[in-house]
Structure 1
Amino acid sequence: MDINGWIGWFVSANTPDPAISDLFNKVARMQQTQGYQELQKRYLLTQVSLSPEQIQTTHH
């Protein structure tokens, strides 16, 4: 069985770039923690992350 899921963070279109970068960096740091990595392994999840620039290029 191949299950794909997508979770995203959404912000208002007028959110300042520094605020978006700060959120992105906080999530990236959280994903590097041992607890997060153990959770990924426990549920057999594979993390696929895209930068804001990659998302804009891929989905527009």
Structure 2
Amino acid sequence: WHGILQHGGTNYNDGTAWITQCPITPGHSFPYSFQVPDQAGTFRYHSHLCTSRLRWLLRSNAD
């Protein structure tokens, strides 16, 4: 997650497998869920594994 300040121990949502988060095994998923209070700007997600891809990115109804 680029551009998002992650506070409160959510850095396990950002990183390479076996370093800061557990790998997501084939056929399984990992829902990313965290709050982004009082931040505005451009936010971007990209995978650290070439076999992963982003299917969709949900935005808040407040956007």
Give the TM-score normalised by the residue count of structure 2: 0.29
Indicate the structure whose relative CO is greater, using CA pairs within 8 Å and at least 6 residues apart: 2
Looking at CA atoms only, which structure, 1 or 2, has the larger radius of gyration? 1
Give the TM-score normalised by the residue count of structure 1: 0.30
Higher share in helix: 1
